């Protein structure tokens, strides 16, 4: 049985390091005995170092990385630097970066390559912007094609795809399980075009967008869904741990 992956994306929260350490200890302790799960905590980069010292079972993740190694890139952080802090997984192409910070498909692709080429795992975020977007499947397919272009097949085992419809992020709206099932098939079909059959079969697909302890079971029960990318609820340890439990029980 493959482990379910549950990622806490804290975004730009909490406001101070003491709270970040507290939250990570609570999540780490509370989820340490839940079988069949892998928990990844992705705090703001400035807290990574402190949090890496307190995690026992959970893995450390980052929310973003630049595509260079070192150099004159004021304000940026490279995958190499993240790796040196104990980061194992990097979120790439989150919609808040794509649409709030103008990251285009080419930038996302270069970030994917940079993260994977230093041996880190990458969570590639994809998703349509509008609920009623006519061609939402085509939009997701285009992101996968553009963002995985030129990525060598040998990196496949380190790629995770998170389907996060933008309209479901932080809104309380969620995807219908039947739509999620269909999108999962569509994502695997798109991965097949880029990385081949084996990757299409084995790549973990996460769902993100207003996941909480009440609705998590609806999504984790969907065939082909391997976990969650959780925003707001990941700042509430008890509820987040409840989601981990639900994921581990399937
Ligand atoms: P919410 O869980 O707050 O909707 O955020 C989802 C998300 O963007 C995780 O990356």
Q: Nearest C-alpha to atom 1 of ligand 1 is from which residue?
A: 231
Q: Is residue 94 annotated as a catalytic residue, yes or no?
A: yes
Task: Please report the pLDDT score of residue 1 as a whole number.
Answer: 64
Residue 96 has which token pair? Answer: 């808040």
Is 197 known to be catalytic? no
Q: Which atom of ligand 1 is nearest to the CA of 96?
A: 8
Strand spans (E) along the chain: 4-9, 37-42, 59-62, 87-92, 121-126, 159-163, 205-208, 227-230
pTM here is 0.98
What is the atom index within ligand 1 of the atom nearest the CA of 162? 10
For ligand 1, say whether the CB of 232 is within 6 Å of any of its atoms. Answer: yes
Domain 4-248, second-level architecture: Alpha-Beta Barrel (3.20)
Report, in this order, helix, strand and coil percent for the chain, each rounded to 5: 45, 15, 35
User: Could you tell me if the CB of 243 is within 6 A of ligand 1?
Assistant: no
By the 8 A CB rule, do 148 and 200 touch? no
Catalytic residue among 38, 103, 128, 164: 164
Contact (Cβ atoms closer than 8 angstroms) between residue 73 and residue 83: no
Predicted pLDDT at 137: 86
Question: Is the alpha carbon torsion for 96, 21, 88, 233 positive or negative?
Answer: negative
203 lines ligand 1 (CB under 6 A): no
Candidates 56, 31, 49, 76; CA nearest to 234 is 31
The pLDDT value recorded for residue 133 is 66
For a mutational test of ligand 1's pocket, the pick from 173, 230, 239, i.e. the residue with the most ligand atoms closer than 8 A to its C-beta, is 230
- pLDDT tens string, the chain, 250 residues long: the values are 689 999 999 999 999 999 999 999 999 999 999 999 999 999 999 999 999 999 999 999 999 999 999 999 999 999 999 999 999 999 999 999 999 999 999 999 999 999 999 999 999 999 999 877 667 889 999 999 999 999 999 999 999 999 999 999 999 999 999 999 999 999 999 999 999 999 999 999 999 999 999 999 999 999 999 999 999 999 999 999 999 999 999 8
């Amino acid at each position: 049985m493959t482990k379910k992956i549950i990622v806490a994306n804290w975004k730009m929260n909490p406001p101070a390091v003491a709270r970040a350490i507290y939250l990570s200890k609570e999540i780490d302790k509370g989820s340490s005995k839940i079988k069949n799960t892998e928990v990844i905590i992705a705090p703001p980069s400035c807290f990574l170092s402190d949090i890496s010292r307190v995690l026992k079972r959970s893995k450390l993740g980052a929310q973003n990385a630049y595509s260079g190694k070192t150099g004159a890139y004021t304000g940026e952080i490279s995958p190499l630097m993240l790796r040196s802090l104990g980061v194992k997984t990097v979120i790439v192409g989150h919609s808040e970066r794509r649409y709030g910070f103008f990251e285009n498909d080419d930038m996302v692709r270069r970030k994917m390559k940079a993260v994977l080429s230093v041996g880190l795992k990458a969570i590639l975020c994809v998703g349509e912007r509008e609920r009623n977007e006519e061609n939402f499947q085509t939009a997701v397919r285009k992101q996968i094609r553009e963002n995985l272009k030129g990525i060598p097949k040998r990196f496949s085992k380190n790629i995770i795809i998170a389907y996060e419809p933008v309209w479901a992020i932080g809104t309380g709206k969620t995807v219908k399980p039947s739509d999620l099932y269909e999108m999962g098939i569509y994502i695997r079909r798109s991965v097949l075009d880029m990385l081949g059959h084996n990757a299409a079969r084995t790549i973990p697909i996460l769902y993100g967008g207003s996941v909480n302890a009440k609705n998590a079971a609806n999504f984790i029960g969907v065939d082909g869904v391997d976990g969650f990318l959780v925003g707001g609820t990941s700042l509430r340890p008890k509820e987040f741990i409840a989601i981990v439990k639900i994921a581990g029980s399937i």
